[in-house]
Structure 1
Amino acid sequence: MEDSAETALSKAPRTERGKRTLRRLLDAAAAEFGERGYHDASISGITQRAGAALGTFYTYFDSKEQVFRALVDDMGRLTRHWIAERVGNAPDRLTAERVGLEAFIEFAREHKDLYRIVMEAQFVAEDAYREYYRVFAEAYRRNLAQAVAKGEIRPGPAEERAWALIGMGVFLGLRYGVWNQDKSPAEVAAAVSDILTHGLRPDPAAGEGP
């Protein structure tokens, strides 16, 4: 695993043209793996989709597994960047949760290959699969801890909260982003925001008369 990471680093493009070529290969790999799955996907399929020569592939990657691992990492960065851009101006943590979930569902709708690739990673490259979520969880944990320090949310275990919120987002993205789009991302995010803000405890005032 370490050798693979060192090889990928040594092959990282250093020119703008090289970076554009790598981007084409990763986008093509997303389409190839997303459509055909890891075992049926091929390097030639990736290069054909990218409009690149087979030798160009080996300029950046040594194998199908290596490009798959790079793709899982790349998808994590793309997802985090997409969400970060949209929550950057949120005035507080609860608003950021609503906006972030809405953004993630939108991302899932536009990148449906994400789910197949990441889920398959747990069988093809489990360490990459774990790292994908570990990076998300660590960033989430820091954000929640900062929100507690600012008084935006009540104190609580940031680690467990981070993983719980990630799990909720993953399945909401699957249900409303990939399986069915019968509700808008804003509707789903608003419903979940209510849960995060008020919890499931009944409203003591609900049973009172006027």
Structure 2
Amino acid sequence: MSTLKTTETNKIPKTARGVRTRNKLLEAAEWEFGSKGFYETSIGEITRRAEVALGTFYVYFESKDEIFRALVGHMSRMTRQWVAEHAAEAKDRIEAEELGLSSFIDFVRQHQNLYRIIMEAQFVAPDAYREHYENFAEGYRRNLTEAAKRGEISEGDVDVRAWSLIGMSVFLGLRFGVWDEDAQASEIAERAVDLIGQGLKPR
């Protein structure tokens, strides 16, 4: 049984038009929260950017707090889906780590608001912040366990390994996705995965 959590509300639209409108609000919220922060953003600014009526907002969300929490979950899913799709063709777990990290850096470069929103969630919505990383950790634990069974990696504490790999990805994404976009993402991933696979011991 999965332990994945969700910050979604009960106001999930049942029509394609409703899904599009809700996504427009989330995209607008991503820009507003990402550029101004939670406290400086208003619902009115979100609806104006989304080009929907103020009343439409309340069809999908109860409050600014609720759309922020939904946005954290939305961006978390987007990130995981993007990485999973780009790592899907890997021949083994080590290659999957390399492709996944490279694609994550590329995703961060395309979504510069990701870090500000997730970092602010630590204080605005700590449950959503923790959920974001726990969902990543569950996927890592599952993938590492399966890879060990296939003989692609050694046996080990999958929880420690999962959080270690998350930490590496988070700070490499910050360094090379937000602060410096000049380096080739694939080269950064290759060097990081060399560390994962070979460690720091002299060769």
Q: TM-score range by the shorter chain?
A: over 0.9
Q: Which amino acid aligns with 1:153?
A: I
Aligned equivalents of 2:150, 2:10: Cα separation in 1: 42
The aligned counterpart of 1:87 is: 87
Aligned to 1:119, the other structure's residue is in SS state helix
Alignment of 1:29-178 (within 5 A): 29-178=29-178
When residues 197 and 10 of structure 1 are mapped into structure 2, their CA distance, relative to the original with a 3 A threshold, is: closer
Aligned equivalents of 2:108, 2:95: Cα separation in 1: 20
What are the Cα deviations for residues 113-149 of structure 1, in whole angstroms up to 9, with x where unaligned?
0000000001001011000100000110110011100
**Post-superposition offset of 1:171:** 0.5
**Post-superposition offset of 1:6:** 11
When residues 37 and 17 of structure 1 are mapped into structure 2, their CA distance, relative to the original with a 3 A threshold, is: same
CA contact (8 A) 1:121 1:129 kept: yes
Q: TM-score, normalised on structure 2?
A: 0.95
When residues 6 and 93 of structure 1 are mapped into structure 2, their CA distance, relative to the original with a 3 A threshold, is: closer
Aligned equivalents of 2:71, 2:83: Cα separation in 1: 18
CA contact (8 A) 1:28 1:49 kept: yes
What are the Cα deviations for residues 7-30 of structure 1, in whole angstroms up to 9, with x where unaligned?
954311000000000110000000
Aligned equivalents of 1:138, 1:45: Cα separation in 2: 35
Aligned equivalents of 1:6, 1:138: Cα separation in 2: 13
The aligned counterpart of 2:16 is: 16
Taking only aligned residues, the RMSD between alpha carbons, in angstroms, comes to 1.5
Count the aligned residue pairs.
Answer: 199
Aligned equivalents of 1:12, 1:195: Cα separation in 2: 43
CA contact (8 A) 1:69 1:128 kept: yes
Aligned equivalents of 2:186, 2:88: Cα separation in 1: 17
The aligned counterpart of 1:27 is: 27
CA contact (8 A) 1:8 1:60 kept: no
**Post-superposition offset of 1:182:** 2.5
CA contact (8 A) 1:8 1:61 kept: no
CA contact (8 A) 2:25 2:50 kept: yes
**Post-superposition offset of 1:93:** 0.1
Q: TM-score, normalised on structure 1?
A: 0.92
Structure 1 residue ranges, 4+ long, deviating more than 6 angstroms after superposition = none
Q: Which amino acid aligns with 2:31?
A: A
Mark the structure with the bigger radius of gyration. Answer: 1
Aligned equivalents of 1:94, 1:107: Cα separation in 2: 20
Aligned to 2:62, the other structure's residue is in SS state coil
CA contact (8 A) 2:83 2:103 kept: yes
What are the Cα deviations for residues 70-120 of structure 1, in whole angstroms up to 9, with x where unaligned?
000001100011011111111100000000000000000000100000000
CA contact (8 A) 2:7 2:128 kept: no
Q: Which stretches in structure 2 are left out of the alignment for 5+ residues?
A: none
CA contact (8 A) 2:34 2:114 kept: yes
